[in-house]
Structure 1
């Protein structure tokens, strides 16, 4: 019986402003897993004003990214098409974990995390 191996590429997306010491890190760099195993990807940041971590997938046949879900403070929000496939853990203020379960060949992709904040502007008329 031949084993099937999946390559789950994890792109380290470093959003950094070196002079301000703001960094977003994603680990591990690369994963090779067997079919039906799980993959765990961790995203950390040190930006006090950022409270959301977003997770994206880019498949080999795609030009853009698909939003898989996000952590908003400690609320977990998986997009409907990924609810049965992924689990989010952690919080958006410091670190978050993406767990992809029951890997199949369609999970072979590049995964990105991004730290984010929202600017609210209120205008008076």
Structure 2
């Protein structure tokens, strides 16, 4: 049964900087930002920061559908079903370039998720 008084929405400030772990419990990065789809008025994806470098220098960024993240054990972190080695080989997202529909579609395809605009 639903508890109508329990919060079900999260503020962006709470999600930003949330730690992300792999399935083995190893921290692999954090959620750096959320990107909004202005045409559909919804969160399109998360920008995931991979690495643990001071001030984010040398980190790689990836566009990942929010649905790919699962809540962690404590509810204040996330788990992503990918390993560090795979991320090290992946091409990262250039935060200075606009996100294209093609790039977003590729991210959904990589995580075997149906894009929200096709639902």
Greater RCO (CA < 8 Å, at least 6 residues apart): 1
More strand by share: 1
TM-score with structure 2 setting the length: 0.28
